[in-house]
Amino acid sequence: MTSDELAQLRGMLAAAPIDFSSNAQEVRAMFDGMIATFPVDESYNFTEKTIGGITGHWLDAPKKSANVMLYIHGGAMLVGTAFGYRGLSGNLAQASGVNMFSIDYRLAPESTFPAALDDSHAAFEGLLAEGYKAENIVVAGDSAGGGLVLSLLLKLKGAGKPQPAAAVVLSPWADLTHSGETMKTKKDVDNSLSQVGLQAGADQYLGGASATDPLASPLFGDYAGIAPLLIEVGSEEILLADSTRLAAKAGEAKVDVTLHVWPEMPHDWSLFSFMLSEGRDMIAEVGTWVSARLAK
């Protein structure tokens, strides 16, 4: 990293803040318009596909592979598309050497809890129906998508179904009660998120459901028997405590859990790998970690 890279990113985030407490349609237009400008590797050949009744974007592995990554994008449950996140999802899958299916799950406020989780589960079951075994699937997601990954693991456990081979969560939003101390201690350094904005997303997503339901706030779940877990988070995030508490809870439950807190990094910095070397470094780290946990 150079200080210039980080200063440029912080300036960009400060100049175009995303206010999730605004009208959802307006936020979507702004957010999706911004993320659509992010460069995507021209060698990636995405195709639209429907699996398990869920639409999304498919990307073949760089070499023939029996493994697949189910990717769940972020966006506070209100915004984001598989198309908009294809740079990040594609980079992670290619670094991991696997096929990838990035889904378009239903968004709030039009569709409330547990719609997004149900769609994620349907996509996972769809991959099984396509012939992929659970041990050949890695589930990954960022921010709200990271929370959905965790909720999916808990849902599979509750149903007595096999876990995927591994799970990767990037800057996960795992506590919709927002009880983590970094909501306060990091509020002046987080250029991306605010508690007010996240609360607006949580309220619209929950639709009256309890924020302490482990399938809505997976931090409160029982992690015994959960898939190996990689947690990537920046030191400058109001969601930092979601990750540190999650790692502690998973570790206490004897889960194979790896937590990497990256100094100075803002929320979801891997989205900006085209301009920030730490984003590229983190993507490479994910690829190495995933490859070590999937059958060759």
Is residue 138 within 8 Å of residue 164, measured between CB atoms? yes
> Do you find a cis peptide bond into 228, omega within 30 degrees of 0?
no
> What is the DSSP-derived secondary structure letter of residue 161?
P
Tokens at 194, concatenated: 């605010």
Task: Tell me the C-alpha to C-alpha distance, in Å, between residue 294 and each of 9, 112, 119, 133, 198.
Answer: 34, 33, 24, 11, 34
CB count, 10 Å around CB of 259?
Answer: 16
- Give the strand order in the sheet containing 166-170: 47-51, 54-59, 99-103, 68-72, 137-142, 166-170, 229-234, 257-262
Helix axes 115-129, 144-158, angle to 10 degrees: 70
Distance separating the N- and C-terminal Cα atoms of the chain: 33
Nearest to 77 by CA among 167, 169, 177, 148: 148
Dist CA 119 CA 152 (whole Å): 10
Q: How far is CA 111 from the centre of its chain?
A: 19
Helix (H, G, I), strand (E, B) or coil at 56: strand
Structure tokens at 55: 């639409």
The total of other beta-carbon atoms located within 10 Å of residue 211's CB is 18
Residue positions annotated with a catalytic role: 143, 237, 267
Q: Which residues contact 125 (CB under 8 A, 6 or more apart)?
A: 52
